[in-house]
Amino acid sequence: MKNISLNIDGKNIKTVERKTVLNVARENGIYIPTLCYHPRTKQAGKCRICVVEVKGLPGLRVSCSLEAKDGMEVLTNTGRIIETRKMIVELYLSSGRHNCISCEGSGTCELQDAAYHLGIEKSSFPNMTKDIPIDTSSPMIIRDMNKCIQCYRCIAGCNDIAVNEVLDMGFRSSRMTVVCDTNKPMGKSSCVICGECVQLCPTGALTERKSATKGRDWETGKIKTTCPYCGVGCQMYLHVRDNEIIKVTGAEDTAPNYGSLCIKGRFGYDFVHSHERLRSPLLRKNGEFAEVSWEDALDFTAKKLLEIKKNHGPESIVGIGCARTTNENNYVMMKFMRAVIGTNNVDHCART
Amino acid sequence: MDDKIKKLIIKLAHRFPRKESALLPALSLIQKRNGCITEDDLMEIANIMNIPQARVFSAASFYTMLSLKKIGKYHIQVCTNVVCSLLDGESLIDYVSGKLGIQEGEVTPDGLFSIASVECLGSCGHAPAILINMAHYENMDLKKIDKIIDSLKKGEWRG
Amino acid sequence: MTNSIGEIENSPVIFIIGSNTTETHPVIANSMKRAAKRGSRLIIADPRKIDLTRWATRHYQHKVGSDIALLNSVMYEIIKNEWHDREFIKKYTEGFDELEKTVSEYPPERVFEICGIPADDIRELAMILGMAERVALYYTLGITEHITGTDNVKTCANLQMLLGNIGKEYTGVNPLRGQNNVQGACDMGVLPDVFTDYQKVSNPVVRENFARAWSVESLPDMEGTKIPAMFDGMLHGDIRALYLVGENVIMSEPNQSHTIKALEQLDLLIVQDIFFNETAKYAHVILPAACFAETEGTFTNTERRIQRVRKAVEPPGQAKEDWWIISELAKRMGYAMGYTLTEQIWEEIRKLTPSMSGITYERIEREGIQWPCPDLNHAGTCYLYCDNVFPCGKAKFQPAQWKPAAEVPDSEYPFVLTTGRRLWHYHTGTQTRRSAGFDDVFPEELIEVNGKDAGKLDIKNGDHIWVVSRRGRVRVKTWVTSRVSPGLCFMTFHFHEACANVLTNNAFDPVAGTAEYKVCAVRLEKEE
């Protein structure tokens, strides 16, 4: 690819061709607000908030859809640009019910960020919208269309990334809204609840039902890990607050899933905190299970294993490992059976 | 969807290199024959063309000439774009509404009339404009509309 | 997988046989659907009309258990039309003549009788695969869970070798592995015949190497017992103790009553798990384990990518990591493992496992690495057998003959029951059924029955019926659907209330020891 150089806000930048002005700016730490653009859904050119001025080109240009060219001189921060962005954000604010007080999106909301950076306290346009009932029909996802800014990211995610093809834009002009199938409630539609749309939503229009009121973004720690379900090995973040996983999101910058998850990976985490989890070693005494200390449980088990090994030989003991636990645990299990018990009678469910 | 329409749509779909291209012709076919497009129709089209239901709905709900609700035998569409509005087009809606006793989106009990406001009908030079089914009327006023509706009621429709 | 997930999206032809990918590997299915949308040909051979067929170029609905016949016939046509890759076969393989001889017995007209696909369709499939420059083949348990599972896999490999679809991008023989770390558990040598990296226990050099590393005098040389034989051993009294780490065998093994009987014979059943599952009831001692979110370590995914698992929360009560429990037991049995961190364990694994020597926690901090990765400067391996170097020298064709399933329908049990998974639950349901919302989406087991069969038996959609096999009976709700063809039913083992494994046949593949979960004969009885 050809090397090019351009100037953004007086800064000379060397890069390669076939990138957008927005990407070049972001790579160089220059903030340009966006609402509809997302690295995974690519440029949409819808919200127009990423406008910049380019010397020699008329009017304002949309930086997410503008290819960076050699010798370009770009300004991202002029008075005209700021005024335009302000007006766009104010129009957005007036065309929905954007109330941050108890919004789950607060802290990760890109509209909130844009309004904050532009210093907008209140829209100067009157709010003419009617309340749209919140769609709570899905067991995992809450859809509040009052907060939708029609960025099309959920539609792109549903159709082009996850290819479940449930969402599209319905109706026109002021009645325009995202629909599921033939305008069904999400819970009655063909939605497979992968949550791609939730992850891509820039506002609080689509949120995780189970995470509601459990903690906002700045209150949680995020730990990157590997999904515990199938063999794809999706990378994801566990959002943790007070020793509780309250939300899961896909890690967007790494193979193999680049942000995508399925219903199990994204929403099947609360078994971790189930009250049915085993909390203490249990020993069967007279047909009943009794809680015992680790010392007692381990002593009993070790003694019994030694006894069986002595009386019936190591071949009378078998171990079944676990395709669900870590390599390290499996290795230790395998080592235990071979080095400690002295048998190769070790297997796991790869065959089942 | 009855078998006859279904067959016609399958035939339509096969006329294009991509079945999806027959989406609008199929929707207008159903509109013409049945006066509205039902949810069942949408799902059937999606099935025939192997495209998402939401895409079919998106198209069907976008065009004002397609209707997802039952409309009257005579569907009166009133332009509410800038020029027509400036020339009092919006009062036409209120007037017709009062005269027929129905709101926008409703059908008269006898099934004869329905009203809808629509985007530009392309008659800004002769505003205000209305469309009744496929017939176009320009330079409308209350008297003219009275006359048209009366003749429609009498069954003297000239198209 | 010989190849990588990242290649799927750009593969010109994707051939999927025996994998319900959208439900079992949804994120991989996303790549397949994206490929189909951008013009790749998605070819599916599956007895059921699975959801992925909506995006498929072609769907061949062969009968359950006829895979070898179908693929042999496809190879018959490929050879007949000279679509095979002669250069690749000559240079890098052996045993082609044998293959040619075997598949010559499978002309499409004869195979139609076995698999139910018209001869012309078999020819079309052969043409699509044969004429394509590259084909990537994907399979899952639809191929392996048969008494001929090993032969099924070999036949898939034969096809890909015949077409030279090995050792290149966008090709390969790609099993999609079901559990998060089934690849890793195999790689770690949790198998009766191998140590890590598939180093044979029968090899004295290998044994000596491990014995030295583990500071023991010697290690057993006799190949151990595979799971199905373990249960038989318990019934015969040869096996007295079972240490069960994280497996709900009562739900997951075929022929449930057989499993229960076997467990009841044990002198010692140690269940180490995160829940008191169905199997725990039979335990003598239960050890509470930490789950994935409570432990450090690594998982290896289906494309051989070793990825980090990190501790996010504390385990409940006194639950402990598996490695801690096992090493405490070892200590009490006179063997000190001395681990305090999982990284120490990984470092030990790395030294004993040549294909992973180059992988450290530090290197996989941001993104996992695919083995083989023999040294610290190696970037990992996206696809195996690059330059057509095979571990055994030349790749060997291993032709196989089709044979019928262990249990075929008859007048008493006229339906074929095949089993699998649904998107909405995972395996025995211990996790998904304890996570809110999942039972709202899919609250109870459904048996898929074709409309024609339902009509004949006067069963309506939603009726509860009894499904009866030679091994047991379960009561289950019906889903009348064209997803299954007439004569075929489908169930899962997610629900203990109606578990397919009460019915399934524990006949197994003699080589792999995999049971025939995919075929058994049942009859459907209306509820009185």
Give A173's contacts in chain B (Cβ within 8 Å): 119
Q: Tell me the torsion sign for CA atoms A45, A50, A56, A57.
A: positive
Secondary structure in 3-state letters for C391-440: CCECEECCCCCCCCCCCCCCCCCCEEEEEECCCCCCCCCCCHHHCCCHHH
* A240 pLDDT higher than 80: yes
Q: Verify whether the Cβ–Cβ distance C24 to A230 is below 8 Å.
A: yes
Give C235's contacts in chain A (Cβ within 8 Å): none
CA distance A253 to chain C (A): 9
Paired strand residues for A198: none
Q: Which residue of C has its CA nearest to A239?
A: C312
Q: Verify whether the Cβ–Cβ distance A182 to B58 is below 8 Å.
A: no
Structural domain contains residue C11: yes
Q: How far is CA C415 from CA A219, C404, C407, C448, in A?
A: 55, 15, 11, 12
Let me know: does A167 contact B54? Beta carbons within 8 Å: yes
User: H helices within C265-406, ranges in order?
Assistant: 322-332, 342-352
Alpha-carbon distance of B37 to B32, in angstroms, equals: 9
Tell me the pLDDT band of C2, cut-offs 50, 70 and 90.
very high
Alpha-carbon distance of C414 to C366, in angstroms, equals: 54
Counting residues of chain C whose pLDDT is more than 90, the rounded percentage is 93
Q: What is the pLDDT of residue C526?
A: 92
Q: In this structure, are C111 and C205 located in the same domain?
A: no
Q: Verify whether the Cβ–Cβ distance C328 to A298 is below 8 Å.
A: yes
Asked which of A77, A106, A130 is the last residue of a domain, the reply is: A77
Average pLDDT rounded to a whole number, residues C114-135: 97
The four Cα atoms C241, C247, C252, C258 give a dihedral, to 10 degrees, of 10
Q: What is the DSSP string of C41-88?
A: EEEEE-SS--GGGGG-SEEE-PPTT-HHHHHHHHHHHHHHTT-S-HHH
Q: What CATH number corresponds to the domain at position C50?
A: 3.40.228.10
Q: Verify whether the Cβ–Cβ distance B119 to A173 is below 8 Å.
A: yes
C101-124: per-residue pLDDT in tens? 999 999 999 999 999 999 999 999
Q: In this structure, are C365 and C242 located in the same domain?
A: yes
Structural domain contains residue A339: yes
* C374 pLDDT higher than 80: yes
Structural domain contains residue C410: no
Burial class (CB in 10 A: 0-12, 13-18, 19+), B120: middle
Q: Tell me the torsion sign for CA atoms C20, C22, C24, C27.
A: positive
Q: Residue C275: which of C298, C296, C246 has the closest Cα? A: C246
Q: In this structure, are C51 and C199 located in the same domain?
A: no
Q: In this structure, are A273 and A301 located in the same domain?
A: no
Tell me the pLDDT band of C253, cut-offs 50, 70 and 90.
confident
Average pLDDT rounded to a whole number, residues A66-92: 95
**Radius of gyration (Cα) for chain C, nearest Å?**
24
Average pLDDT rounded to a whole number, residues A19-31: 94
Q: In this structure, are C170 and C223 located in the same domain?
A: no
Q: In this structure, are C171 and C187 located in the same domain?
A: no
Let me know: does C231 contact C259? Beta carbons within 8 Å: yes
Q: Verify whether the Cβ–Cβ distance C27 to A256 is below 8 Å.
A: yes
Q: Verify whether the Cβ–Cβ distance C298 to A328 is below 8 Å.
A: yes
Tell me the pLDDT band of C389, cut-offs 50, 70 and 90.
confident
Let me know: does C154 contact C32? Beta carbons within 8 Å: no
CA distance A34 to chain C (A): 26
* C274 pLDDT higher than 60: yes
* A166 pLDDT higher than 60: yes
CA distance C144 to chain A (A): 8
Q: Verify whether the Cβ–Cβ distance A182 to B52 is below 8 Å.
A: no
Structure tokens at C228: 């199905």
CA distance A72 to chain C (A): 33
Q: Verify whether the Cβ–Cβ distance A179 to B39 is below 8 Å.
A: no
> Over chain B, what is the mean pLDDT?
91
Give A166's contacts in chain B (Cβ within 8 Å): 52, 54
Alpha-carbon distance of C118 to C459, in angstroms, equals: 30
**Domain boundaries defined on chain B:** 3-62, 74-153
Q: Verify whether the Cβ–Cβ distance A166 to B43 is below 8 Å.
A: no
Q: In this structure, are C128 and C203 located in the same domain?
A: no
> Over chain A, what is the mean pLDDT?
95
Residue A137, CB half-sphere, CA atoms under 13 Å: how many? 12
CA distance C342 to chain A (A): 6
* Cis amide linkage into residue A256, ω under 30° from 0: yes
> Over chain C, what is the mean pLDDT?
95
CA distance B39 to chain A (A): 7
Tell me the pLDDT band of B158, cut-offs 50, 70 and 90.
low
Strands A141-143 and A206-208: antiparallel
Q: What is the number of structural domains in chain A?
A: 3
Q: Is residue A289 less than 8 Å (CB to CB) from chain B?
A: no
Element (H, E) at C269: strand C268-273
Q: What is the pLDDT of residue B24?
A: 96
Q: What CATH number corresponds to the domain at position A260?
A: 2.20.25.90
The type of residue at C359 is: I
Q: Which residue of A has its CA nearest to C281?
A: A289
CA distance A286 to chain C (A): 10
Q: Which residues of C200-209 are buried (b: 16+ CB within 10 A; e: fewer)?
A: ebeeeebbeb
Q: In this structure, are A286 and A346 located in the same domain?
A: yes
CA distance C161 to chain A (A): 25
Average pLDDT rounded to a whole number, residues A37-51: 90
Paired strand residues for C306: C300, C369
Alpha-carbon distance of A78 to A10, in angstroms, equals: 12
Average pLDDT rounded to a whole number, residues A241-260: 96
Look at the block and give the residue holding tokens 């990423």. Answer: A50
Nearest Cβ partner of A329 from C301, C314, C322? C322
Structure tokens at C428: 């025995």
Chains with 3+ CB–CB pairs under 8 A to A are B, C
Asked which of A262, A277, A292 is the last residue of a domain, the reply is: A277
Q: Which residue of A has its CA nearest to C296?
A: A326
Let me know: does C432 contact A264? Beta carbons within 8 Å: yes
User: H helices within chain A, ranges in order?
Assistant: 21-27, 79-94, 110-118, 153-156, 196-200, 263-267, 294-312, 327-335
Q: Which residues contact C324 (CB under 8 A, 6 or more apart)?
A: C339
B94-150: per-residue pLDDT in tens? 999 999 999 988 999 998 999 998 888 998 999 899 999 888 999 999 999 999 999
Structural domain contains residue C119: yes
Enclosing domain of residue A252: 214-277
Paired strand residues for C200: C194
Structural domain contains residue C385: no
Nearest Cβ partner of A262 from C27, C241, C325? C27
Structure tokens at B112: 């004869």
Look at the block and give the residue holding tokens 């949120």. Answer: A207
Give C309's contacts in chain A (Cβ within 8 Å): 225-226, 326
Q: In this structure, are C88 and C117 located in the same domain?
A: yes
Length of chain C: 528
Give A180's contacts in chain B (Cβ within 8 Å): 54
What phi-psi label fits residue A141: left (phi over 0), alpha (psi between -120 and 50 degrees) or beta?
A: beta
Q: Residue C7: which of C178, C175, C168 has the closest Cα? A: C168
Structural domain contains residue A160: no
Higher pLDDT, A350 or C493: C493
Nearest Cβ partner of A168 from B43, B58, B64? B58
Q: State the best of A155, A163, A166, A181 to mutate against chain B, taking most chain B CBs within 10 Å.
A: A181
Q: How far is CA C135 from CA C156, C167, C174, in A?
A: 12, 12, 11
Q: In this structure, are C81 and C132 located in the same domain?
A: yes
Burial class (CB in 10 A: 0-12, 13-18, 19+), B8: middle
Q: In this structure, are A22 and A67 located in the same domain?
A: yes
Q: Is residue A213 less than 8 Å (CB to CB) from chain B?
A: no
Q: In this structure, are C370 and C449 located in the same domain?
A: no
Q: Verify whether the Cβ–Cβ distance B54 to A182 is below 8 Å.
A: yes
Structural domain contains residue A66: yes
Q: In this structure, are C169 and C194 located in the same domain?
A: no
Structural domain contains residue A35: yes
Nearest Cβ partner of A181 from B57, B64, B119? B57
Look at the block and give the residue holding tokens 């339509």. Answer: B12
Q: Residue C160: which of C15, C363, C44 has the closest Cα? A: C15
Q: Is residue C382 less than 8 Å (CB to CB) from chain A?
A: no
Helix or strand or coil: residue A343? coil
Average pLDDT rounded to a whole number, residues A42-70: 92
CA distance B53 to chain A (A): 5
* A352 pLDDT higher than 70: no
Q: In this structure, are A286 and A330 located in the same domain?
A: yes
A211-231: per-residue pLDDT in tens? 999 999 999 999 999 999 999
Q: Which residue of A has its CA nearest to C189?
A: A334
Give A278's contacts in chain C (Cβ within 8 Å): 273-276, 286, 288-289, 316-317, 319
- Whether the complex's predicted ipTM is more than 0.90 is answered with yes
Structural domain contains residue A288: yes
Q: Verify whether the Cβ–Cβ distance C192 to A322 is below 8 Å.
A: no
Look at the block and give the residue holding tokens 């299954």. Answer: C484
Q: Which CATH class is domain B3-62?
A: mainly alpha
Burial class (CB in 10 A: 0-12, 13-18, 19+), C86: exposed
Enclosing domain of residue C479: 415-526
* B88 pLDDT higher than 90: no
Helix or strand or coil: residue B77? strand
Average pLDDT rounded to a whole number, residues A144-152: 95
Query: B74-153, what's its fold?
Result: Glutaredoxin (3.40.30)
Q: What is the number of structural domains in chain C?
A: 3
C236-250: per-residue pLDDT in tens? 999 999 999 998 899
Q: What is the pLDDT of residue A249?
A: 97
Q: In this structure, are C317 and C367 located in the same domain?
A: yes
Chains with 3+ CB–CB pairs under 8 A to C are A
Q: How far is CA A80 from CA A60, A87, A119, A205, B125, in A?
A: 9, 11, 15, 30, 36
Give C297's contacts in chain A (Cβ within 8 Å): 325-329
* B159 pLDDT higher than 70: no
Structural domain contains residue C451: yes
Length of chain B: 159
Let me know: does A64 contact A34? Beta carbons within 8 Å: yes
